[in-house]
């Protein structure tokens, strides 16, 4: 009997946030995980939304993302609401991930902090009997936070040296968002 693929769900604030955990995602993909991503905002403050979604789709192909969910909430205005959190519950129940990767709860960016709060609450409520119309309850086994903008206080470091070149390709695919300072910072972390 063939083993069922293990599933990952990344819950990100913006269309380029998966770069922060791209090396880890590639490593997990290569060990048999299937990647899905939910992006909460349209990223309009960072440029043309349609262009950014196109960049994200190309980056998703490189990562091997199975399904993408775009919620197109207001960029730089992402806030927790029961309604939005329940929409995320529905995705968690649909995907049924073993692993959820969230934004860092202490990140500098307000949308990243809000995405963490929305995501962690959705993971908790997805495991309960609340709102049965949103799907069968699902308990996620592992929840991790990705690195991000300052401050970074890692509790787990994953060696992704093998994926350095592919991760740098991710930066190139998000060309509307990349600046050399971000690339230099990322290289310094490897």
Q: Pick 58 or 138 by higher pLDDT.
A: 138
Candidate from 6-10, 33-37, 118-122, 162-166 with smallest mean pLDDT: 162-166
Give the DSSP letter of residue 4.
P
Average pLDDT of span 92-97:
98
Question: Is 80 exceeded by the pLDDT of residue 190?
Answer: no
Q: What is the mean pLDDT of residues 163-190?
A: 67
Contact by Cβ (8 Å): 49, 4: no
Kindly state the average pLDDT of the residues 97-122.
95
Q: Are 101 and 70 in contact (CB under 8 A)?
A: no
Measure the CA–CA gap between 78 and 87, rounded to whole angstroms.
14
3 state DSSP class of 69: strand
pLDDT at residue number 152: 64
Say what the pTM is.
Answer: 0.87
Q: What is the mean pLDDT of residues 143-153?
A: 76
Please give the share of the chain, as a percent, with pLDDT higher than 90.
59
Q: Coil, strand, or helix at residue 73?
A: strand
Least confident of 21-30, 68-77, 87-96, 172-181: 172-181
pLDDT at 81 over 50: yes
More confident residue, 183 or 62: 62
Q: For residues 100 and 108, give the distance between their C-alpha atoms in angstroms, rounded to a whole number.
A: 21
| Residue 65 DSSP SS3 | strand
CA dihedral 133, 15, 172, 113 (to 10 degrees): -110
Q: What is the mean pLDDT of the chain?
A: 87
Confidence label for 3 from pLDDT (cuts 50, 70 and 90) = low
Q: Could you tell me how far CA 112 lies from the centroid of its own chain? A: 10
26 touches 166 (CB < 8 A): yes
Report how far residue 14's alpha carbon sits from residue 9's, in angstroms, rounded to the nearest whole number. 15
Q: What is the DSSP letter of 177?
A: T
């Amino acid at each position: 009997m063939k083993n069922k693929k293990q599933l990952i769900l990344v819950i990100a604030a913006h269309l380029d946030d998966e770069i922060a955990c791209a090396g880890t995602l590639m490593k997990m993909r290569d060990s048999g995980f299937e990647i899905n991503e939910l992006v909460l905002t349209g990223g309009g403050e960072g440029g043309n939304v349609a262009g950014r979604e196109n960049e994200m789709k190309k980056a998703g192909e490189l990562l091997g993302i199975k399904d993408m969910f775009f919620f197109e909430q207001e960029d730089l205005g992402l806030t927790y609401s029961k309604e939005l959190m329940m929409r995320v519950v529905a995705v968690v129940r649909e995907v049924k991930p073993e692993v959820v990767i969230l934004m860092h709860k202490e990140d500098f960016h307000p949308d990243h902090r809000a995405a963490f709060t929305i995501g962690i609450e959705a993971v908790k409520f997805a495991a309960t009997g609340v709102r049965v119309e949103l799907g069968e309850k699902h308990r996620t086994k592992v929840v991790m936070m990705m690195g991000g903008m300052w401050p970074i206080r890692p509790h787990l470091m994953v060696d992704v040296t093998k994926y350095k070149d592919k991760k740098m390709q991710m930066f190139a695919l998000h060309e509307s968002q990349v600046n050399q300072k971000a690339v230099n910072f990322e290289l310094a972390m490897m």
